[in-house]
Structure formats: C-alpha cells, structure tokens
Amino acid sequence: MRYLAPSPGHVMEVFMFGFLKPDPKKKLDQEYKTLLEEAMHAQRSGDIRKYSELTELAEMKKKELDRL
C-alpha cells in the first residue's frame, strides 16, 4: 500500500476555509460563561437550588473545556 500525499490544492483549501469551521472551545467557553451568569442571577434572586444546579452544569462544561 502506498501513501498518497494530499494534493497542493487540498492543502490550500484546508488552509483557506479552515477558519469557517466553528471552534468547539469557543462554543463551550460561551456556554460556560452563560451558565455562570445565570447562576449568579439565581443566587441574587434567592433561588439557591437553581444556583446549585446551574453551577454544577457550569463545572461540567469547564471540565469538558479543559479536556480539549
């Protein structure tokens, strides 16, 4: 079996259009920040149960983000 190198056109295509693909880290970071903000508002309004749930979800997002 021979190794087939990608054509120069393929490399250029990946380089040119790679920026159009969404960044999973950026999306997770945005979700993490949103959850923390919602948790803060829940805490300030006195809904400690909702604050705890949202904080737990935010921590799970942070762990997933750290794995990437």
Note whether residue 12 is domain-resident.
Answer: no
* Residue 46 forms part of a structural domain: yes
Instruction: Give the residue, 1 or 51, on which the prediction is more confident.
Output: 51
CB-count exposure of residue 43 (10 Å: 0-12, 13-18, 19+): middle
- Counting the structural domains of the chain, the total is 1
Within a domain: 56: yes
Chain segment 3-55, per-residue pLDDT in tens? 555 555 555 555 566 666 778 899 999 999 999 999 999 999 999 999 999 99
The CA distance from 62 to 55, in Å, is 10
Per-residue pLDDT, 2: 55
Structural domain that includes position 31: 22-67
Q: What is the pLDDT of residues 46-68, one digit of tens each?
A: 999 999 999 999 999 999 999 98
Q: Is residue 57 part of a domain?
A: yes
pTM of the model: 0.68
6 lies in a domain? no
On whether residue 40 sits in a domain, the answer given is yes
